[in-house]
Structure 1
């Protein structure tokens, strides 16, 4: 996978704290500079995943809703 490729991790089917566990596992297995889109469902996972990403030192490039459902969110993250 090249630096310009974007991974997708869909954890919308999981509930907290498993959303953050899966996000951390994926980020831990990525190389610095890789970008990933992380899909979450609901306000609590949105807050928890964003907090976890920042506390691990990674950068959230963008947060947006998805067109699929009002409670779905997408984080575009670059690994530190």
Structure 2
């Protein structure tokens, strides 16, 4: 379970569907200064497969953090993106 964060901001895209999940994430990362971190809450499945991969393809560093709740691995996950 993720409880603490050193991310400067948090983006929750759990109510969004692909491809909007990536669009929202990319726009949020673009607002960061170089070296800043964004934490993103996203659903498992397609968003968890596509958003980290697409952000990495655009040159951002993606750190996989994992599910918010260990007892719900198919639930909401968090990743951190460093610009």
Q: Return the TM-score normalized by structure 1.
A: 0.84
Gaps of 5+ in 1: none
SS for the counterpart of 1:32 is coil
Q: RMSD of the TM alignment (CA)?
A: 1.7
**Structure 1 stretches (4+) deviating beyond 2 angstroms?**
67-70
CA–CA separation in structure 1 for the residues paired with 2:64 and 2:8? 13
Q: What is the CA distance between 1:5 and its match in structure 2?
A: 5.3
TM-score (norm 2): 0.81
Partner in structure 1 of residue 75 of structure 2: 71
Count of residue correspondences = 76
